[in-house]
Chain A
């Protein structure tokens, strides 16, 4: 393993810069972002201490070890494993007169003057909000994923001047993703003008319709970059199902449509799968909906297990981004009909367009990054978990449930 020369009994143990790691009280984890190998050490204080030293930034992934330490069976085994998984190496101090160094795998975003282009790529417009008796029980879905904002009051429409000023502010930006939602999109008073405005500037429009509101005539407003997403909720009325069959029959482009099945329990999940098979649907996704009574469904179907986390196998850039940003939220804003703007609808509004511009509000979020930088490392209990950088970014479910670990991991 080492140089054949007579050694001076000091070696350097190094971790490669494509390896990331974390430690907790009685556990340590090393992850090789190239071959996705994971090394987990449990309850071995000696090795956990070595990993802890390797991860201390002032050591820069390189620590001196004596020959005595090297000859301890546990250390020997650990170094053998590290080398076997190409996570690091051992260097003799005889090869050089100084401790070698590593460039830390620590992401840095260089300061640059604010630019809208660098901070915005998706806008969600709730063009109206109000009641919809057929899906009223889904009121809290708005906080969990893209879903119309349901209220018990009267329908409230977004003033078209808001959209006009938005489009003016975003002129010259490369195409944005614009999501349109509302419990009553097709009855928006200036729908024709709204589409004309939003389809400018190479924007990609996505219209989210609850299934029962499906309107074959509505797609005439669409251009090539406009896509329809159907929100399928339960129970499905037979007339809505028939309407859907008719719609698919009449609409040549239905294959580009996305079907989002919103499920609360295993039965709804099973029903969804039957519908998908029956209609031969292609672009489908599932959104579990937490209704306050179905935590057990979430525990079984949503909570991540250790193997789910390990199988996600993020690459190094994904890992690095998780140290600084929330990829679910970054660059996205939501506007409600009253002009209030959110970086995440579960957080307080950034402000209201009656008082300021969207650009100013985005600038504010880009500086404070209250929502956009919601990372596991800053939240209990994830910050004590060795998997925190392997886990997907914090989701709206977690914020809504006020539970940052929708997983089955026991933090050691």
Chain B
């Protein structure tokens, strides 16, 4: 049962969050004291009666207060209690099940098909998910078989709901441009065989080493290109060539070439993906890309799921120790605004927990304030199979997405046949959900989860969720955000003004 929680900011102000009211309240320090006193079995009236009149009472760590003030705050506490600030709301129901029919339906409306064009890569990055630091199948140099790729596309397009005309085709690796003939053939196959019934968008995630060679083809078909680059030379130093030399100058040369020769295309279609670690920081990365290319990169933390236990310590030492804190600077948060993780988290908290952000006008006009309806939900924030994308690996494995370990295969392409068994997939997913559910049911953020079940070491039978928040950690989570807002109220005002509008 989720309870009201009180929290104190870094500078010492007290607040409470009421899940029943879905509202935050700035409160007098005595309120959390009384709340916790009563929650721990204390009798407030008996305690107050036992206190001598005119006495100043020390309530560590809350402070010294006269009895009259304590009496007033008792009234306020009771007032809030009467108005349900300390009630526990109905629990979110996480007992939903994934049905095979849903999977079949998802296949007909899938948004993105991702090909692992080749397993081969011309880089040997220290933090690669195929390095010693991660549990994953060994990878060779397999290339995606072209007839199999065409068969799979036929399978998907033949089942496609005609109302869903647009499909995104993505090329991933290894380094996808190491198998350029595959990309070329698939694009031409779709362009000549399935247009105009369907329309296709293409994208590619590349390390940039071969960009100059294929720029003309990529621009012709308006590929969205995401170049993996972690910032300047030092920041990019985990990204290394096969001979262990830094890749930075090569990538920069090719990127500059693209910018110089295809300027409009570069402006519109080229973006950067940056991994944050201890050799860069949000602020540095942001400055680098802004000044050099006028762009803001997509930033993500280093992948901490599926880390090989044998190398966990070394992993932490290599990539995480001494991570820069310059990202918390207010100027930087204003500059990056919603691209900054702290700002995004605050916006998310305001949306889900302030009680003042509504999904629709109807929600605002509807009576009642409970956030959870009687509907049942699936635990975690896992994308359902084929609901958004599918990852087709060069070795024939079909996976929910490119970030998921090969052990969670949801089908195969074998002997030129696409093998997808919706019953088996539903059974497997429901099994994973069953395993994670007890953890989710205890999590204060279960209704606003950000984690995929496949990142929770579900295969070990003892799931662990990095985003799990119990009462204490949920209070700490709010405390951090309120501490930021206390320091920078204009940032909060900007968030409520701009974060929930349509993105232009």
Among B151-159, B262-270, B287-295, B349-357, the stretch in contact with A: B349-357
Alpha-carbon separation in the docked complex, A1 to B68 (Å): 7
Known: A100-B13, A103-B354, A325-B364. A16 touches B63 (CB 8 A): no
Please tell me if the beta carbons of B26 and A100 are within 8 angstroms of each other in the complex.
Answer: yes
Please tell me if the beta carbons of A320 and B357 are within 8 angstroms of each other in the complex.
Answer: no
Per-position 1/0 for B355-368, Cβ under 8 A of A: 01111111011110
What residues on B are CB-neighbors of A14 within 8 Å? 26
Which residue of B28, B350, B502 is within 8 Å of A89 (Cβ)?
A: B28
What residues on A are CB-neighbors of B332 within 8 Å? none
Please tell me if the beta carbons of B356 and A106 are within 8 angstroms of each other in the complex.
Answer: yes
What residues on B are CB-neighbors of A327 within 8 Å? 365
Please tell me if the beta carbons of A110 and B357 are within 8 angstroms of each other in the complex.
Answer: yes
CB-CB contacts below 8 Å: A99-145 with B? 99-112, 115, 118-119, 121
Minimum CB–CB distance for A84 against chain B, Å: 9
Please tell me if the beta carbons of A101 and B362 are within 8 angstroms of each other in the complex.
Answer: no
Minimum CB–CB distance for A119 against chain B, Å: 7
Chain A's closest residue to B13 (CB) is A100
B438 at the interface (CB under 8 A from A): no
Please tell me if the beta carbons of A110 and B72 are within 8 angstroms of each other in the complex.
Answer: no
CB-CB contacts below 8 Å: A21-60 with B? 34-35, 57-58, 60
Among A90-98, A185-193, A198-206, A254-262, the stretch in contact with B: A90-98
Please tell me if the beta carbons of A106 and B63 are within 8 angstroms of each other in the complex.
Answer: no
Please tell me if the beta carbons of A331 and B360 are within 8 angstroms of each other in the complex.
Answer: no
Please tell me if the beta carbons of A98 and B356 are within 8 angstroms of each other in the complex.
Answer: no
What residues on A are CB-neighbors of B325 within 8 Å? none
What residues on B are CB-neighbors of A324 within 8 Å? 361, 364
Per-position 1/0 for A57-100, Cβ under 8 A of B: 11010100000000000000000000100100101001111111
Which residue of A2, A83, A118 is within 8 Å of B361 (Cβ)?
A: A118
Known: A91-B28, A101-B489, A105-B356. A5 touches B367 (CB 8 A): no
Per-position 1/0 for B53-93, Cβ under 8 A of A: 00010000001111011001001100110010000000000
Please tell me if the beta carbons of B83 and A34 are within 8 angstroms of each other in the complex.
Answer: yes
A340 at the interface (CB under 8 A from B): no
What residues on A are CB-neighbors of B357 within 8 Å? 108-110
What residues on B are CB-neighbors of A106 within 8 Å? 356, 496
**Interface SS, B side:** mixed
A321 at the interface (CB under 8 A from B): yes
Minimum CB–CB distance for B441 against chain A, Å: 27
Which residue of A98, A115, A121, A317 is within 8 Å of B487 (Cβ)?
A: A98
What residues on A are CB-neighbors of B359 within 8 Å? 109-110, 112, 118
Per-position 1/0 for B1-30, Cβ under 8 A of A: 000000001011101000000011111110
Which residue of B11, B68, B79, B367 is within 8 Å of A96 (Cβ)?
A: B11
Please tell me if the beta carbons of A111 and B500 are within 8 angstroms of each other in the complex.
Answer: yes
B493 at the interface (CB under 8 A from A): yes
Please tell me if the beta carbons of B358 and A107 are within 8 angstroms of each other in the complex.
Answer: yes
A18 at the interface (CB under 8 A from B): yes
Please tell me if the beta carbons of A95 and B13 are within 8 angstroms of each other in the complex.
Answer: yes
Known: A14-B26, A17-B24. A100 touches B486 (CB 8 A): yes
Alpha-carbon separation in the docked complex, A121 to B365 (Å): 12
Alpha-carbon separation in the docked complex, A6 to B33 (Å): 22
Alpha-carbon separation in the docked complex, A86 to B76 (Å): 6
Please tell me if the beta carbons of B28 and A109 are within 8 angstroms of each other in the complex.
Answer: no
A242 at the interface (CB under 8 A from B): no
Known: A1-B68, A1-B69. A109 touches B486 (CB 8 A): no
Which residue of A34, A103, A366 is within 8 Å of B24 (Cβ)?
A: A103
Which residue of A5, A16, A34, A112 is within 8 Å of B64 (Cβ)?
A: A5
Please tell me if the beta carbons of B490 and A58 are within 8 angstroms of each other in the complex.
Answer: yes
Query: What band does the interface of chain B fall in when counting residues whose beta carbon is under 8 Å from A?
Result: 35 or more
Please tell me if the beta carbons of B489 and A58 are within 8 angstroms of each other in the complex.
Answer: yes
CB-CB contacts below 8 Å: B334-378 with A? 350-351, 354, 356-362, 364-367, 369
Which residue of A89, A101, A109, A321 is within 8 Å of B485 (Cβ)?
A: A101
A3 at the interface (CB under 8 A from B): yes
What residues on A are CB-neighbors of B80 within 8 Å? 86
Please tell me if the beta carbons of B364 and A118 are within 8 angstroms of each other in the complex.
Answer: no
B482 at the interface (CB under 8 A from A): yes
B492 at the interface (CB under 8 A from A): yes
Please tell me if the beta carbons of A101 and B486 are within 8 angstroms of each other in the complex.
Answer: yes
Known: A58-B493, A331-B361. A95 touches B29 (CB 8 A): yes
Known: A108-B358, A317-B369. A5 touches B13 (CB 8 A): no
Please tell me if the beta carbons of B356 and A3 are within 8 angstroms of each other in the complex.
Answer: no
A387 at the interface (CB under 8 A from B): no
Minimum CB–CB distance for B502 against chain A, Å: 4
What residues on B are CB-neighbors of A101 within 8 Å? 13, 26, 482, 485-486, 489, 492
Chain A's closest residue to B12 (CB) is A96
Alpha-carbon separation in the docked complex, A57 to B497 (Å): 11
Give A residues with C-beta under 8 Å from B: 1-5, 14, 16-18, 34-35, 57-58, 60, 62, 83, 86, 89, 91, 94-112, 115, 118-119, 121, 317, 320-321, 324-325, 327, 330-331, 366, 372
Give B residues with C-beta under 8 Å from A: 9, 11-13, 15, 23-29, 56, 63-66, 68-69, 72, 75-76, 79-80, 83, 350-351, 354, 356-362, 364-367, 369, 482, 485-487, 489-490, 492-493, 496, 500-503
Q: Closest 9 interchain pairs by CB?
A: A96-B12, A118-B360, A100-B13, A98-B11, A4-B56, A111-B502, A110-B500, A97-B11, A4-B64
A-B contact pairs, 9 of them (CB 8 A): A2-B69, A3-B65, A34-B83, A58-B490, A91-B28, A101-B13, A101-B486, A106-B496, A321-B364
- Taking A101-B489, A109-B359, A119-B360 as known contacts, 17 extra A-B pairs with beta carbons closer than 8 A to each other, sorted by chain A number, are A14-B26, A17-B26, A57-B493, A58-B489, A83-B72, A89-B27, A89-B28, A94-B63, A96-B12, A98-B486, A101-B482, A104-B356, A109-B360, A109-B361, A109-B364, A110-B358, A111-B501
